[in-house]
Structure formats: C-alpha cells, structure tokens
Amino acid sequence: MTVSADVGFWSGSLSYAPVYAPGGLEVSIGTGPDANGISWIWQTIDGWDSPDVVGQVIQRSADHGGWPASQFYAPRVITVTVMASAPTQALRDTARAVFQQVIPPGISPNDLAVLTYNEPVPKQALVRRSGRITEQKPTLTDVIFTANLVAPDPRKYSAQPKSSTAYIAATSAGGGLVVPFTVPFTLDPGTPPGVMTVTNAGTFETRPVITLKGPLTAPKISNVTYGMTVPFSQVTLGATDVLTVDMDARAASLNGSYRTADLSSAWWVLEPGANILELGSASAGSGASFTCSWSDSWM
C-alpha cells in the first residue's frame, strides 16, 4: 500500500542573459543556499497546467447553435511565488535586486528569461514580465516575491534539447557493378542515406530547426510520416555553404542571408511520437548532410 505524503514543490530556476552580464543571471530554486547563502523556495506556480485558448463559436443565423471557428492556444500566463531566505538583511536586499533583474520586461521580442521547473521530466518555458513584481517582507531577512509572467510560446519544452544528423549519398553517373556471389540472398538494408527517424517524446507538436550542409543542388526536406515537404528548387549549396531552416518562423537563411522556399512548400512540425525525415536533392556531393535540432514539447 502506498501512503500519500506531501513531498513539497519540485526544484527549478529562473535564468537570464542580459548584455551587461555575459555569464548570465540565475536564481536556483529549491536546491539549497546559493553563493550568497540565500535559499530560494517555490511557494506556488500557477498556470503551469494549461494555457487559455483564443477563438469563438459564431452563432448561426436564424438557427440554434453555432459554427466552430478556428481556436488556438493563447500565450501561457504564469504566476510564481518565490521566497528568498537570506543570512542578513543586506543579503535579503541582494536577493531583491537579483530577482528583479532575472525576469526581463521584454524590451525586444527575444528578451526572455528561461523558467525551468524540475518535475520528474524537467520542462522549460521562455517568459517575461506581465505587470509588476510584488514583495512581502515577513522578517528582516526573508522576502516573498509574487511575479506575473507571460510565455509568448505556450509550449513547455524539454530542458535538454536534442539533435540528429543524417548524411545523403553522393550522386554520380556511376558504372557497372559485378556481384561476386549468387542470388538469392538477404541484406539488412539499414537506414537509407538522407533519412532519419526523429522522436518527439512530448505530447504536443514541436517545431525544429533544420541545418543543411552542401554540396547540394535543389534540396528538399520532408516529413515523410505526414507527407509534407519544403523544397528549395532555386538553391545550390557549395561544400562550405549552410542552409538553416526554421520551421517555426517558416523562414530560411543561406550563410546568414535570407532565402525563400518554393511557394508549394508545406511547412511541417514534429508531431508527438516518431517522425521520419528525409533530405532529397537533384544532386549531392560527398559530405552533404542535414541536422534536425528540436526540443520535446508539452502543452
């Protein structure tokens, strides 16, 4: 028989890398005293369960019921309550300054902090402030923060990103082949060149970044499992060229310069479970490859 018990909150952290602090700022929560002797403790984290949705049902004209318009997840709104317990009043004020700094207001679109929550499967969200950070000071050495945060991307991502690389076989005119044994025979085909299986271990679609390295002519990247392809029929990569394709932004760059995909492109995502990806091209040279970088995703 398992006896239920209150084991408290999981550990976690808030981290941010402003330009004035090249080493970054971090508040490590639930892991014991930091370098200043300050202990950070979760009290509550609300909004980690599910984001809201946006959309509506449109009333039918002169009829009962409505028409279901498209509906999508809204940005995730999170409220955290964190207590800092310091050895002295001066270090309590240090904790106050650090906590105010570690959650940015979002001056630019990418001005975001990383909120990590170490559940049995640790997850992360990119957040910034939504409103003010309030403080309560129950003692001269303790302070309790309440911060409203917003994650523009409502997904929760795996704390450890993943990456997989496949090489595409060089294409050439070739010549004859003499088979030095008698058929029939059986060979293990293995994984064909330019093909990989990528697994999203989460429960919601995630959007990878694909990196192609030449030599390649007219490359196209496909999620074979779902029959979707993004071709670049007007692009040629030399041996040192790199084409980076962001499936979230639906944009690509060749050596840092913007490149457009074909208008026929079907931009794809990594659905939960196994996804078979394939790199095709009109021709390829030795060393041509593609790399898929992603993080498992939950909602």
Instruction: Select from 108, 130, 156 the last residue of a domain.
Output: 156
**How sure is the predictor about 184, in pLDDT bands with cuts at 50, 70 and 90?**
very low
Helix (H/G/I), strand (E/B), else coil: 242 = strand
Distance separating alpha carbons of residues 287 and 214, to the nearest angstrom: 7
Distance separating alpha carbons of residues 262 and 237, to the nearest angstrom: 16
Say if residue 167 is in the same domain as residue 123: no
Inside any domain, residue 206: yes
Find the CATH number of the domain harbouring 268. Answer: 2.60.120.860
Inside any domain, residue 200: yes
Inside any domain, residue 289: yes
Largest CA distance in the chain: 87
Distance separating alpha carbons of residues 167 and 200, to the nearest angstrom: 21
270 or 183, higher pLDDT: 270
141-179 pLDDT per residue, tens: 999 999 999 999 999 999 999 999 998 877 643 333 334
Name the nearest CA neighbour of 270 among 231, 232, 212, 224: 224
Say if residue 145 is in the same domain as residue 195: no
Say if residue 144 is in the same domain as residue 200: no
Distance separating alpha carbons of residues 106 and 66, to the nearest angstrom: 38
Alpha helices (H) in the chain, listed in sequence order: 89-102
Q: Let me know how long the chain is.
A: 299
Q: What is residue 187's predicted lDDT score, i.e. its pLDDT? A: 35
Say if residue 95 is in the same domain as residue 201: no
Peptide linkage before 184 cis (omega within 30 of 0): yes
Inside any domain, residue 4: no
195-208 pLDDT per residue, tens: 999 999 999 999 99
Least confident of 172-186, 223-237, 256-270: 172-186
Q: What is residue 192's predicted lDDT score, i.e. its pLDDT? A: 60
- Looking at the structure of the chain, the number of domains it has is 2
Cα separation of the two ends of the chain: 32
Cα angle, residue 238 at apex, residues 233 and 239 outer, rounded to 5°: 135
Say if residue 138 is in the same domain as residue 231: no
Distance separating alpha carbons of residues 159 and 162, to the nearest angstrom: 10
Q: What mean pLDDT, rounded, does the chain reach? A: 89
Distance separating alpha carbons of residues 198 and 221, to the nearest angstrom: 13
**Looking at residues 19-25, what average pLDDT do you find?**
89
Domain span holding position 215: 162-173+190-298
257-274 pLDDT per residue, tens: 999 999 999 999 999 999
Find the CATH number of the domain harbouring 50. Answer: 2.40.30.200
Say if residue 85 is in the same domain as residue 123: yes
87-111 pLDDT per residue, tens: 999 999 999 999 999 999 989 988 9
Inside any domain, residue 150: yes
Inside any domain, residue 5: no
Say if residue 196 is in the same domain as residue 243: yes
Percent of the chain predicted with pLDDT > 90: 80
Report the b/e string of 31-69 with b at 16+ CB within 10 A.
Answer: eeebeeebbbbbeebebbeebeeeeeeeeeeeeeeeeee
- Under DSSP, the state recorded for 271 is -
- Under DSSP, the state recorded for 255 is T
Say if residue 111 is in the same domain as residue 210: no
Inside any domain, residue 184: no
**How sure is the predictor about 194, in pLDDT bands with cuts at 50, 70 and 90?**
confident
Say if residue 131 is in the same domain as residue 91: yes
Joined together, the tokens standing for residue 216 give: 């390649």
Say if residue 194 is in the same domain as residue 149: no
Inside any domain, residue 227: yes
Say if residue 168 is in the same domain as residue 116: no
**86 and 142 in contact (C-beta within 8 Å)?**
yes
238-252 pLDDT per residue, tens: 999 999 999 999 999
Say if residue 169 is in the same domain as residue 255: yes
